[in-house]
Amino acid sequence: MRTRLTIFVSGIIVTLLAAGAFAAELGTQKSADRGVTMAITPQNLVAGAKSWNFKVVLDTHSGELNDDLVKTATLLDDKGGRLAPVKWEGAGPGGHHREGTLQFDPVTPTPSAIELRVQRPGEPAPRSFRWQLK
C-alpha cells in the first residue's frame, strides 16, 4: 500500500513540475505600434485551471490608454473557437501606463495553439499574440 501511495504522489509531483515548466515556456510577447507598446504574458494555462489568465501591460508617452480590453480582446484556438474575456483585473482606463490581468474561461480540451487578438481604438487591424501549447 505504501508503495502505491509513493508512486501516486511521485506522479502528481512530476505532473506539477511539467505543468510549471510548460507555463514557463510561454513567454511574454510584445507589440509596438502607433506609440503604444503592449506586452502580453500567459499565466496559468494548464489543465484544470479555473481561468486562463494573461498579464497585460500597456505603455505610451502620448495620449491616454482608454482601451476596454474585455470588449476588444478575443482568444482564438486552433480549431476556430473564439472566446471573449470574462474579466479584467487591473488599472482602469486612462493614463500612460496600464497593467492588469485579462481572464478567460479555460479552453478544453487544451488546443495545440492559441492566439490573443486585441483591437485597439484607432488601429486598422488587431494586434495578434500567438503561442504553441503542444
Specify whether domain 2-132 bears CATH 2.60.40: yes
pLDDT for 9 equals 42
pTM recorded for the entire structure: 0.80
pLDDT for 134 equals 87
For the chain, give the mean pLDDT. 87
Dump pLDDT digits (tens) for 63-115: 999 999 999 999 999 999 999 999 999 999 999 999 999 999 999 999 999 99
Sketch the domain layout of the chain as residue ranges: 2-132
pLDDT band, very low/low/confident/very high, at 23 (cuts 50, 70, 90): very low
CA neighbor of 76 nearest in space, from 120, 44, 47, 118: 118
Is the pLDDT at 10 greater than 90? The verdict is no
